[in-house]
């Protein structure tokens, strides 16, 4: 029996790119008929005609199936919807905007055939991206890597091939604040790195603005490590020790010199500094508390409004 390969494409406002992507994928699927193919399009509550584009692709080719979510849930959740519906022996995740070139897929399949279970593609070049975004992103990965003992690789995105075992493992993780990039590393399995040149977006614009990226970054930290909590404990400890030493100094000084009312600046600095440290620590605890609150509601991660073929 032929092995089945699923391709998962989360789409948000991709009416222009989808037909272009399909053209390339169609060629790939036709040229590699030793596999059965399935193309899963997840329309993540797009505001343009993406759903219509999915429907017409489905009508033309029954290897295509689509899931339409009831609103925009974000890429991470759209991907989970795809994992839940994939029936392939392996699954390739890629973006709809052709930044992930389909010609890399045969190479991934080759490694999969050789026994690797998670073949991830690393960008040689980050493409058209601002200097600040590039620097911040690299610094972020460095920090994340330092604070956890599991590697999260920089310049590796969601473009990868996952074996059925990995998909099943990922499907089991139902957290609603998802940071899938971390989950890939967390689940383990035999990994293989390949590289590719990231192209620029063919059409439309990136839906990740600065704030969305910041959100994803914070959720990456909180979903992956409790290091910030520990840092605030350590900070509290250090500040307490300093305060204690200073207290003894003040006590002795007052006893010896009889120092009357003085030291207003010291007082103000101390109050402000301690206030800042306390607020920061409460904020950090709050981030984790918010996650507990979100997860404790046990809502479904996404809601489907319609689907066909999956």
| CA angle, residues 101, 102, 108, in degrees to nearest 5 | 105
Q: Tell me the torsion sign for CA atoms 73, 78, 83, 84.
A: positive
Candidate ranges 42-50, 67-75, 95-103, 271-279; the one touching Mg ion (CB under 5 A): 95-103
**What is the spatial distance between Cα 39 and Cα 157, in angstroms, rounded to a whole number?**
20
Candidate ranges 96-104, 185-193, 231-239, 262-270; the one touching ligand UDP (CB under 6 A): 96-104
Kindly state the tokens that stand for 260.
């009357």
Q: Which residues of 244-279 are buried (b: 16+ CB within 10 A; e: fewer)?
A: eeeeeeeeeeeeeeeeeeeeeeeeeeeeeeeeeeee
Query: Which residue's CB comes closest to ligand UDP?
Result: 206
**What is the spatial distance between Cα 224 and Cα 151, in angstroms, rounded to a whole number?**
11
Which positions from 99 through 138 interact with Mg ion, judged by CB under 5 A? 99
Backbone angles phi, psi at 198, to 5 degrees: -75, 130
Kindly state the tokens that stand for 7.
């391709």
Which positions from 163 through 222 interact with ligand UDP, judged by CB under 6 A? 201, 206-208
Q: Which is nearer to ligand UDP, 181 or 201 (CB)?
A: 201
The least distance separating ligand UDP from the CB of residue 131, rounded to whole angstroms, comes to 16
The least distance separating ligand UDP from the CB of residue 45, rounded to whole angstroms, comes to 8
Q: Are 55 and 66 in contact (CB under 8 A)?
A: yes
The least distance separating ligand UDP from the CB of residue 20, rounded to whole angstroms, comes to 12
Which positions from 2 through 21 interact with ligand UDP, judged by CB under 6 A? 10-12, 14
**What is the spatial distance between Cα 160 and Cα 118, in angstroms, rounded to a whole number?**
7
Which positions from 29 through 48 interact with ligand UDP, judged by CB under 6 A? 44
Q: Give the total of residues touching ligand UDP (CB under 6 A).
A: 17
Is 97 a binding residue for Mg ion by CB under 5 A? The answer is yes
**What is the spatial distance between Cα 196 and Cα 27, in angstroms, rounded to a whole number?**
19
Q: Tell me the torsion sign for CA atoms 157, 216, 78, 206.
A: negative
Q: Which of 16, 72, 145, 195 binds ligand UDP (CB under 6 A)?
A: 72
The least distance separating ligand UDP from the CB of residue 72, rounded to whole angstroms, comes to 5
| Binding-site partner at residue 65 among Mg ion, ligand UDP, none, CB < 5 to 8 Å by type | none
- Give contact residues for ligand UDP (rule: CB under 6 A): 10-12, 14, 44, 72, 74-75, 78, 95-97, 99, 201, 206-208
- Give contact residues for Mg ion (rule: CB under 5 A): 95, 97, 99
């Amino acid at each position: 029996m032929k092995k089945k390969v699923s391709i998962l494409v989360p789409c948000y406002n991709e009416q222009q790119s989808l037909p272009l992507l399909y053209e390339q994928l169609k060629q790939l699927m036709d040229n590699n008929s030793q596999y059965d193919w399935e193309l899963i399009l997840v329309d993540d509550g797009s505001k343009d005609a993406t759903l219509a584009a999915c429907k017409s692709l489905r009508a033309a080719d029954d290897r295509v199936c689509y899931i339409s979510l009831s609103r925009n849930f974000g890429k991470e959740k759209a991907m989970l919807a795809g994992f839940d519906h994939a029936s392939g022996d392996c699954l390739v995740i890629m973006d709809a905007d052709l930044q992930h070139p389909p010609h890399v897929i045969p190479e991934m399949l080759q490694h999969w055939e050789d026994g690797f279970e998670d073949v991830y593609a690393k960008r040689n070049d980050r493409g058209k991206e601002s200097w600040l975004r590039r620097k911040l992103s690299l610094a972020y990965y460095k920090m994340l890597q330092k604070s956890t003992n599991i590697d999260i690789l920089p310049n590796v995105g969601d473009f990868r091939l996952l074996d059925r075992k990995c998909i099943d493992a990922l499907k089991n993780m139902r957290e609603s604040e998802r940071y899938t990039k971390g989950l890939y590393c967390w689940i383990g399995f035999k990994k293989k790195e390949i590289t590719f040149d990231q192209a620029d977006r063919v059409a439309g614009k990136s839906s990740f603005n600065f704030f969305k990226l910041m959100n994803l970054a914070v959720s990456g930290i909180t979903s992956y490590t409790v290091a910030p909590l520990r840092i605030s404990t350590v900070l509290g400890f250090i500040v307490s020790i300093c305060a204690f030493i200073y207290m003894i100094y003040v006590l002795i000084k007052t006893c010896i010199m009889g120092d009357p009312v003085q030291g207003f600046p010291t007082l103000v600095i101390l109050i402000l500094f301690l206030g800042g440290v306390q607020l920061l620590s409460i904020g950090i605890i709050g981030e984790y508390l918010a996650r507990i609150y979100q997860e404790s509601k046990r809502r479904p991660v996404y809601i489907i409004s319609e689907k066909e073929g999956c």
